Amino acid sequence: MDRRQEILEAAAKSFSLFGYKATTMDQVAKIANVGKGTIYTFFSNKEELFNAIVLKLINEMRAEADAVAIEGAPFEQNAHARLMRMLKFRETHQLYAKLIDEEKELRTPAVSEVLQAIENEIVSYVKEKIEKAIAKGELKPCDTELVAYLLFKAYLSLVADWGKTHDVELAEERIVALLSGTIFKSLLL
Amino acid sequence: MDRRQEILEAAAKSFSLFGYKATTMDQVAKIANVGKGTIYTFFSNKEELFNAIVLKLINEMRAEADAVAIEGAPFEQNAHARLMRMLKFRETHQLYAKLIDEEKELRTPAVSEVLQAIENEIVSYVKEKIEKAIAKGELKPCDTELVAYLLFKAYLSLVADWGKTHDVELAEERIVALLSGTIFKSLLL
DNA sequence: ATATGACCGTTTGAGGAAAATGGTCAACCA
DNA sequence: TGGTTGACCATTTTCCTCAAACGGTCATAT
């Protein structure tokens, strides 16, 4: 059995269940059926082990975002589907949800850093898709970094923030109607 | 001398300097040259005194936002100036800045509530301006509540969040260029 | 060569005493 | 007698302490 893999799986399980702070290296070692010292032959410390797990999370999210896109479909439709899927990940993915909760409740610095890294990854992913659409001649050239940032923040606000201050969650059609008529329309060539 | 006014000024001073939690009723009484009991003849508790102070803050912000608008100028120009001014208030206004800091550091519930109320006030203010512009025939009819929310969140992200993850603050012209070409353009009739 | 867990220095948090705080109200004027 | 006050009260917050728990190491075992 690949010891490194055992450790990764044990860590993923523990981080997902208990969060970063409440996961102990002894615990991971026990779950992985491995001596504690062994973990340190593969990962130099707890934070690096954590980062390795989060890297997996990012790849899974990317894969799902790619999966919902339809080859040949308009930019708006794919961008919407991708962003919605990535934002749903915040509730869907056990580790992601746990980390968001820990960030809110405990403000664990390592968790804040990692959540920021995930958001940066999303923005850079969106930026990449915008650039491809521009190259294809579907969108007009623009400040891609800033447009990607705006799109992400807009979706995040509408999907994750709106519900906190209103007693009903925003319907997806209302989001589409809003952004289709505003941001997306103006990006078209 | 109006005792109620003395108390309000003392409270404003103390909340601005020390924040909500670190301000004590004994302190306010001392600054106001008033017995502690007197405060309770005008305000039923600390939180209501706080709310009265914040109401003043909201009115000042509204006044400044109105002051930067130019009669007859296009919606985009005035909306931009108004939102920028209200967001600058977060650094400019001593009490506002202190409360934002306290919310981040201490998470005082009374402060979170009040900050949320201020944001609601801003959104509702923006919504009102959008509705006026629609009535004037300058903008096309739209989901005003949602557009106001989007505009506020977009500005908040660009002005207040961008700097946290990038080493340079966003230049105002870059914000104008982005939003003028995207959201604002699509609102025009 | 690789894996291990007893061990180390540091951090954390439970527990409890002491100080401080928000709010009350009987006494006190003007 | 209506308005003001600060001593007072119950509760919360702060501070301190110390034992338990933690991340990380390394001599030893395999």
Whose CA is closest to B130, among B118, B120, B149, B144? B144
Residues B164 and A121: their CA atoms lie apart, in Å, by: 16
For chain B, state the CA radius of gyration: 19
Residue B25 — pLDDT band, cuts 50, 70, 90?
very high
Per-residue confidence (pLDDT) for residue A97, from 0 to 100? 98
Per-residue confidence (pLDDT) for residue B10, from 0 to 100? 98
- Residue B1 pLDDT greater than 90, yes or no: no
The distance (Å) linking the CA of A183 with the C1' of C25 is 62
Residue A140: other Cβ atoms inside 10 A: 12
Per-residue confidence (pLDDT) for residue B28, from 0 to 100? 98
Residues A180 and A77: their CA atoms lie apart, in Å, by: 9
Nearest nucleic acid nucleotide to B47, CA to C1' distance: C22
**Distance of residue B143 Cα from the nearest chain A Cα, in angstroms:** 7
- Chain B interface, Cβ < 8 Å to A: 116, 119-120, 142-143, 146-147, 149-150, 153-154, 157-158, 161-162, 165, 170, 174, 177-178, 181-183, 185-187
The distance (Å) linking the CA of A35 with the C1' of C6 is 12
Residues A176 and A154: their CA atoms lie apart, in Å, by: 12
Q: Which residue of B has its CA nearest to A119?
A: B165
The distance (Å) linking the CA of B35 with the C1' of C28 is 13
Residues B141 and A69: their CA atoms lie apart, in Å, by: 32
- A-chain CB neighbours of B186 within 8 Å are 181-183, 185-186
- Any strand C atom closer than 7 Å to B82 CB: no
Protein residues closer than 7 Å by CB to strand D: A 23-26, 36-37, 40, 44-47; B 3, 29, 34-38, 40-41
Amino acid letter, residue A183: I
As a whole number, the mean pLDDT across chain B is 97
Asked whether the beta carbons of residue B185 and residue A181 sit closer than 8 angstroms, the reply is: no
Torsion sign (Cα): A102, A104, A108, A114: positive
Angle between helices B94-105 and B3-18 (to 10 degrees): 50
The distance (Å) linking the CA of A106 with the C1' of C13 is 14
Phi-psi region of B72 (alpha: psi -120 to 50; beta: other; left: phi over 0): left
Nearest nucleic acid nucleotide to A25, CA to C1' distance: D23
Chain C bases near protein Cβ (<7 Å): 2-6, 13, 20-26
Per-residue confidence (pLDDT) for residue B100, from 0 to 100? 98
Intervals of chain A under pLDDT 70 = none
Per-residue confidence (pLDDT) for residue A188, from 0 to 100? 95
Whose CA is closest to B166, among A39, A127, A60, A146? A146
Q: Which residue of B has its CA nearest to A104?
A: B107
Per-residue confidence (pLDDT) for residue A40, from 0 to 100? 98
Residue-wise pLDDT for B68-122, tens only, equals: 999 999 999 999 999 999 999 999 999 999 999 999 999 999 999 999 999 999 9
Nearest by CB to A174, from B146, B157, B177: name it.
B146
User: By the 8 A CB rule, do B157 and B105 touch?
Assistant: no
Per-residue confidence (pLDDT) for residue A8, from 0 to 100? 98
DSSP letter at A32? T
Q: How many beta-carbon contacts under 8 Å exist across A and B? A: 66
**Distance of residue B55 Cα from the nearest chain A Cα, in angstroms:** 20
Residue-wise pLDDT for B27-50, tens only, equals: 999 999 999 999 999 999 999 999
Residues B184 and B178: their CA atoms lie apart, in Å, by: 9
Long-range contacts of residues B136-141, Cβ cutoff 8 Å, at least 24 apart: B137/B189, B138/B74, B138/B75, B138/B188, B138/B189, B139/B75, B139/B187, B139/B188, B139/B189, B140/B187, B140/B188, B140/B189
Domains in chain A and their CATH numbers? 1-43 (1.10.10.60), 56-187 (1.10.357.10)
Asked whether the beta carbons of residue A186 and residue B182 sit closer than 8 angstroms, the reply is: yes
Per-residue confidence (pLDDT) for residue B111, from 0 to 100? 98
Dihedral angle of Cα B48, B49, B51, B54, to the nearest 10 degrees: 180
Per-residue confidence (pLDDT) for residue A27, from 0 to 100? 98
Asked whether the beta carbons of residue A154 and residue B158 sit closer than 8 angstroms, the reply is: no
Q: How far is CA A13 from CA A98, A109, A142, A143, in A?
A: 11, 21, 42, 40
Residue-wise pLDDT for B116-159, tens only, equals: 999 999 999 999 999 999 999 999 999 999 999 999 999 999 99
Residue B4 — pLDDT band, cuts 50, 70, 90?
very high
Q: With residue B60 as reference, give the H or E element that holds it.
A: helix B46-68
- Residue B164 pLDDT greater than 80, yes or no: yes
